[in-house]
Amino acid sequence: MGQRILGIDPGTIQFGYGLLEAERGDATYVTAGVIKAPRSLEIGERLHRIHTELLSLLETWSPNVVAVEEPFVPPEVASRGGHRTSIRSAMAVGQAQAVALLAAAHYSLPVFRYPPTQVKNAVSGYGQGSKQQVAAMVGLLLGLQKPPEPADATDALAVALCHLQHERLNTLA
């Protein structure tokens, strides 16, 4: 058995996960999906639900490493104190990311964090690629007839693929 990489696309309503098995640099799809936390729940309850289900996933699939996408705040929004919804959204993603870090720490798993542009670049060759481009490339790279749905699951697989590419590059250096 090779290295198992759990990719995470954090969110407080849909928390994407994707698991790959890597053997000698080749990635094989294992599973992907989302942990859903209804918007009707308070944020603390949503985060608790995500944490509980993520701990169960980690116990079931036993990954060796966790790769997490970092929150994204457009530079113009951050520099101007811009749109409240963008900042609020980034903060919520940051809270979901913290849940992933806590769950990984519970099992003493190493965690690697990647910005969205690095994930997109690793998978599609372009840091500003669209969700559709990323999904199509994830499907191609993993030999899937079609990428998993919803998009959060495919995005999580892209994060895992980004980590695999990062490891390959470190090995070469």
CB count in 10 Å sphere of residue 111: 16
Catalytic (active site) residue 152: yes
Contacts (Cβ under 8 Å, ≥6 apart) of 75: none
57 — phi, psi (to 5°)? -60, -45
Check 9, 21, 70, 155 and give the catalytic one: 9
Out of 21, 69, 70, 155, pick the active-site residue: 69
Q: DSSP assignment, residue 83? A: -
Alpha-carbon gap, residue 134 to 144, rounded angstroms: 13
Taking CA atoms, 143 is separated from 28, 30, 31, 148, in Å, by: 8, 12, 13, 12
**Which one from 21, 42, 76, 152 is the annotated catalytic residue?**
152
Active-site residues, by number, are 9, 69, 152
